[in-house]
Amino acid sequence: MIWIILASFLMYSIFVMWFSWYKTRGTDLSSSDGYFLGGRSLTGIVIASSLILTNLSTEQVVGLNGQAFGESMVVMAWEVTAPIALILMAFVFLPRYLKLGITTIPDFLEQRFDLRTRQIVSVLFLLGYATVFLPTVLYSGALVIDSIFSLSSVMDISPFMIVLCISIAIGIISCGYVILGGLKACAMSDTINGIGLIIGGLLIPILALFVLGRGDFASGVGELVSANPTKLNAIGNDQASVPWAVLLTGLLFNNLFYWCTNQSIIQRTLAAKNLAEGQKGVLFAGMFKIFGAAFLVLPGIIAYLLYGDVLANADMAYPSLVIDVMPVALSGFLAAVLFGAILSSFNNVLNSSITLFTLDIYKPIFKPNAKEPELVKAGRIFAACLAITAVVIAPFILYAPQGLYYFLQEMNGFYSLPIIAMVIVGFFSKYVPASAPKVLVAVHVVLYAGSKVVLGEVNFLYVLSVLFPINVLVMLIVGRLKPRETSFVLPTANKVDLTPWKYAKPFSAFILLTMLGVYTFFSPLGVAESSGGYTIYQFIFFIVTLAFIGGVVLFWKKTDRIRGGRVPLNQMYPFNQKSG
């Protein structure tokens, strides 16, 4: 049996490797544009596939289904609300990125602020990738691969060692893609793996419903709907991991960072051949995210109905379901698809990391006059070092106290909000100076770390809801007290055609309507029952947060009306002055 699984696994994996090589054999990898951005030649379908595969690795497949197993459909918010951020990416962020012709987000931050800001943000990205994201991808991937091939049983070694061994294998193969093929090789493998992921991902809930219905699909659907309707409720209460009050505040801010400024995600949009293709890719990915809950959340609910509280570790819900419902002949195919998803996330983050290191740290600090081949070589060496670091850290995630996906998102909070605040303020303010980002990073790290100590178990999304407007306010106050001497104007690089996709607006409206329809379906207005626990405090928090955000916006507008922000604060509000 194991040989059948292994044979189908190897056949699919080798085909993807060949496909990636075949599609990239003519790409010039000696230049930074060719190596880091695939020659700025990616089309909408390729961008969408790459975005989806970079996002949908095993840390999500395993982590979100594990959260759904332990909670309810409320965790689908991580998927179903993402299109809001992607629509903003298509209309607000992407046109400006392509106009600037940048290679990295820190590249823009240097143009807007200074070189030191660029380097600080690059270091924040790299620390987050090396210590949190890449090790989490390796760890979750090891759980799935071990479950399908029963490696820990066959080899009779500890979970720690099996995670380490599988992580080493993934790291070596990923380095092959990134070091030898660059971004385009990663993107091409994502395209074919994207098809496999959709097929394989949807097979699991379909087959699981047959098992739940004792061989009858319709009975399985009926059991899913009627057995425990509260598990289908997506409207989070006070105790939920995603309360409803943070959907348009903390969760949105988190999504804005991930989909609009996270270098590992947006790098493939920066490689678009033109704005229209970039918008197509981003919006196609947004539509896919709505239906991603079908294989990222529903299997966890089905696993709960099948296993109850038997599983000691919720993160084992999806791997257990795969073992029990997948036919042996298809297990190798699914393993290969999931392995491709692991490689995709690892490859693309690794590629983004070496782009950040090479162009934002190595060249300006160590070798300003380095030629293109030297930069590519330095990036390849750094990729190997970063992969080794992630492999070493990965097994220690076994001891993380929270669920896998929640752990990843919470740790991202240390650097995500300052970056999105810098980009937004950088785009829409003219006089905020280069000192503002430095002050912001220090203030945010202290406040976010302090929230962990003072607020204890308070949901981190509540914290993000308040911290983001505070981050923006900090930068505006610095800009108000010590503005730039001259106003900033976005330059135009003229690297790609900036004509927008003519169907972008109607397609975005369709996405939003679909998103609202899915939320209505998984609510007490649809197939779910209320889980209770809703309090007036959520409503109060939501209103107060919106009022605070509105106050920051008003302060921003008031400041912008004063040329250069040079009028003292007490002169902005004459009602504070003494009369006469």
Q: What is the DSSP letter of 482?
A: S
CA dist 543 and 56 (Å) reads 33
- pLDDT for the residue 166: 85
Instruction: Output the pLDDT for position 175.
Output: 66
- Say what the pLDDT of residue 50 is: 76
pLDDT at residue 323 in the model: 80
Residue 192 has a pLDDT of 65
**Helix, strand, or coil here: 243?**
strand
Q: Which two tokens stand for residue 515?
A: 């998103």
Q: What is the CATH number of domain 2-572?
A: 1.20.1730.10
Q: Give me the half-sphere count of Cα atoms (radius 13 Å) on the Cβ side of residue 176.
A: 12
Strand partners, 243: 236
Alpha-carbon distances, residue 60 vs 57, 154, 170, 206, 232 (angstroms): 6, 27, 17, 19, 19
Q: How distant, in Å, are the alpha carbons of 18, 199, 202, 205, 389 from that of 322?
A: 27, 14, 12, 9, 30
Q: Are 90 and 324 in contact (CB under 8 A)?
A: no
- Report the run of H or E that residue 172 belongs to, with start and end: helix 159-212
How confident is the model at residue 188, as a pLDDT? 58
- pTM score: 0.81
Give the span between the Cα atoms of 61 and 168, in whole angstroms.
Answer: 21
Domain map (residue ranges) of the chain: 2-572
In order of 70, 229, 515, 530, the CA distances from 526 in angstroms are 22, 10, 14, 11
Neighbours of 402 (CB within 10 A): 13
For 70, half-sphere exposure in the C-beta direction (CA atoms, 13 angstrom radius) is 19
SS (H, E, C) 309-366: CCCCCHHHHHHHHHHHHCCHHHHHHHHHHHHHHHHHHHHHHHHHHHHHHHHHHHHHHH
Residue count (the chain): 580
Could you tell me the mean pLDDT of each successive run of 10 residues in the chain, 580 residues long? 63 65 54 49 81 74 87 93 96 93 86 90 85 82 77 78 85 65 53 70 90 92 92 91 93 93 83 91 94 90 88 79 80 74 74 79 83 80 85 79 63 87 93 94 92 84 94 94 87 87 96 96 92 86 95 87 50 40
Minimal CA–CA distance to 282: which of 541, 13, 45? 45
* 444 vs 438: CA distance, rounded Å: 10
Q: Looking at residue 89, what DSSP letter applies?
A: I
In angstroms and rounded to an integer, the radius of gyration of the C-alpha atoms of the chain is 24
Half-sphere exposure of 479 (CA within 13 A, CB side): 32
